[in-house]
Structure 1
Amino acid sequence: MEHHGSPRIIAPVRRIGRREFDFERQVAVMAIVNRTPNSFHDQGRTFELDSAVEAARRAVEAGADWVDIGGFAFSAAQAPIGVDEEIDRVVPVISKVRGATDAVISVDTHRAPVAEAAIEAGADVINDTNGLREPGMARVAADTGATVVVTHSLGGPGRRVFRPSYGDVVAEVAAYLRERVAFALESGIAPDRIVIDPGHDLNKNTFHSLELTRRLEEITSIGYPTLVALSNKDFIGETLDRPQGERKEGTIAANVVSVMKGARILRVHDVAATVASVRMTEAVLGWREPLAPSHNLA
């Protein structure tokens, strides 16, 4: 019988890059490093190459298992950039970070040539917020053997979706993810290389994102390790009436609920706080021992 918080996971023990994870009893913490001048949370603070590399190094020091490096924000409120410019943003960061850590590196991109260049530079994972819809993306993943994160969004990066509406957001997201996973498998991507992400706030309003979190079991039960990327997002801000810089507690609460409902990878800005909350959650669920238990029974 499965115990609470453990969906049946396809190939739960996975080697991703140079690290091994047992997603039956372990949660991976993914740090966000945006090399964009306009990312919604850090507002371009890590746009300079050295700042981006330093942010990745600090994240790993703080306990991140995984660093997600992106050069093109999801938001429609940005100037489009060419493939070459996106490659110029992410590849130098990836190669420098690769030289400094054995942590998993993912590239946050929806374009096949960027993914290919990133993997050549040392990335292990393609984190695709476009759900492998770009021509050639699935082939790059299949040919390189990279792990791929298949994410739900209606419009994809850089496209405005005005007032997104769903009949049943969770059922529709789950159906989309099943269809995209089937496409990935048909394209030759191995089952143990697939991760899914319901795409909190990606063309979804606050009520949609809360509903996805509340019924996350319907996503995690698809069977692939589930990533949630809800750190500091607007649904947390609107739920708590908190500005961008004051959403840490809301983020931690939503992440812990997600882990209890089967999420196994958390994409976050605040690594240290997330690592502590995740290790605590793992211990409560009986997956790990306390680090410094007192054996004094007096």
Structure 2
Amino acid sequence: MRGLSWAGLDLERPRIVGVLNVTPDSFYDGGRYIDTGRALEHATKLVVDGADLIEIGGESTRPGAQAVPLEEERRRVIPVVECIARALSVPIAVDTSQPEIMQAAHEAGARVINDVRGFGHPDALATVARLKVSICLMHMRGEPGTMQVQPVYDDVLGEVARYLIDHAEAAQAAGISRPDIAIDPGFGFGKTQLHNLALLRGLDHFSRLGYPLMVGLSRKSLIGALTGRPPGERLAGSLAAACLALESGARLIRTHDAAETRDVIRIWEAARGASPVAA
């Protein structure tokens, strides 16, 4: 995507979004990094391994998860953002739906806000427009606690695309610059595995919408459904999915495994002549 940038990142080449969950109950790494020191240690490793951006989440959005009280989310997230912002130079994203957390995270050093609820809170878009941060709009049907209760679509590709287009236009109407908007079809968020597979097969539909495309399939249930493996054994499947996403035009790969994803990107780039090797 020549000339395209987002969050200060040149997207002519794919970028790695390293996942850092500071929650006790996330589906893969819940409880590992709730201590600020351990969170910084892991963020540093992600960057050394190739992450271009660190995404911090203080609320588990796995299927069936319950909402986290505002002050608890603040307690989990803000000290970690402050610590990482002081120690590392990469952009920091915070995954939140609460305008108060968006504001506090920005003051602590975050430059990107990712909202799995599509900035549906009445004050969310006005907040991020005022802060002049980059955002990622994700599609989710329902809430994490109920999103997997018989989700139904007539045309999952068309409906998810329409949602993202409408929300991106609403963001621009609220004062957010188009180059500051990325989109994410939301694998596993209010979709059956057949829906997820349809999205994977049709990812190029989203890359043609004109916004940077973020894809998060790392260790997710679709990988488990296709391989029969638990989250801790889904690395190979996750890397295969990342390669498919790259082929379909994704430029932001959200992952728990930065080093391995970096290798995938290097091979993918070399195969397309973008990354020369020594003779």
TM-score clears 0.5: yes
Identity %: 35
Q: Is the 8 A contact 2:97 2:115 kept in 1?
A: yes
Of 159, 162, 187, 1:200 maps to 187
Q: Is the 8 A contact 1:169 1:211 kept in 2?
A: yes
Moved over 6 A (4+): none
Q: Is the 8 A contact 1:220 1:261 kept in 2?
A: yes
Aligned counterpart, 1:13: 5
Q: Is the 8 A contact 2:63 2:189 kept in 1?
A: no
Residue 161 of structure 1, CA deviation: 4.0
Runs (5+) with no aligned partner, structure 2: none
Task: Tell me if 1:210 matches 2:197.
Answer: yes
| Residues in 1 aligned to 2:187 and 2:66: alpha-carbon distance in whole angstroms | 23
| Residues in 2 aligned to 1:196 and 1:267: alpha-carbon distance in whole angstroms | 12
Residue 55 of structure 1, CA deviation: 0.9
Letter in 1 for 2:254: R
Aligned counterpart, 1:3: none
Residues 185-196 of structure 1 correspond to what in structure 2 (within 5 A)? 185-196=172-183
Q: Is the 8 A contact 1:232 1:244 kept in 2?
A: yes
Q: Please give the secondary structure, in 2, of the residue aligned with 1:256.
A: helix
Q: Is the 8 A contact 1:26 1:264 kept in 2?
A: yes
- With structure 2 as the length reference, what TM-score do the two structures score? 0.96
Q: Alignment RMSD, CA only?
A: 1.4
- With structure 1 as the length reference, what TM-score do the two structures score? 0.90
Letter in 1 for 2:9: E
Letter in 2 for 1:278: I
Q: Deviation per CA, 1:135-192, whole angstroms, max 9, x where unpaired?
A: 2111111111100000000114444441111111111100110110111011100011
Compared CA separation, residues 91 and 175, structure 1 to 2 (3 A)? same
Task: Tell me if 1:137 matches 2:129.
Answer: no
Residue 287 of structure 1, CA deviation: 2.5
Aligned counterpart, 1:184: 171
| Residues in 1 aligned to 2:141 and 2:98: alpha-carbon distance in whole angstroms | 17
| Residues in 2 aligned to 1:273 and 1:214: alpha-carbon distance in whole angstroms | 23
Aligned counterpart, 1:38: 25
Give the aligned length: 279
Q: Please give the secondary structure, in 2, of the residue aligned with 1:126.
A: strand
Residues 144-183 of structure 1 correspond to what in structure 2 (within 5 A)? 144-183=131-170
Q: Is the 8 A contact 1:73 1:158 kept in 2?
A: no
Task: Tell me if 1:278 matches 2:265.
Answer: yes
| Residues in 1 aligned to 2:165 and 2:143: alpha-carbon distance in whole angstroms | 17
| Residues in 2 aligned to 1:270 and 1:76: alpha-carbon distance in whole angstroms | 22
Letter in 2 for 1:220: S
Q: Please give the secondary structure, in 2, of the residue aligned with 1:91.
A: helix
Of 85, 89, 114, 2:72 maps to 85
| Residues in 2 aligned to 1:157 and 1:137: alpha-carbon distance in whole angstroms | 18
Q: Is the 8 A contact 2:65 2:144 kept in 1?
A: no
Compared CA separation, residues 79 and 162, structure 1 to 2 (3 A)? closer
Runs (5+) with no aligned partner, structure 1: 1-5
| Residues in 2 aligned to 1:38 and 1:64: alpha-carbon distance in whole angstroms | 23
Residue 122 of structure 1, CA deviation: 0.2
| Residues in 2 aligned to 1:126 and 1:288: alpha-carbon distance in whole angstroms | 31
Letter in 1 for 2:186: G
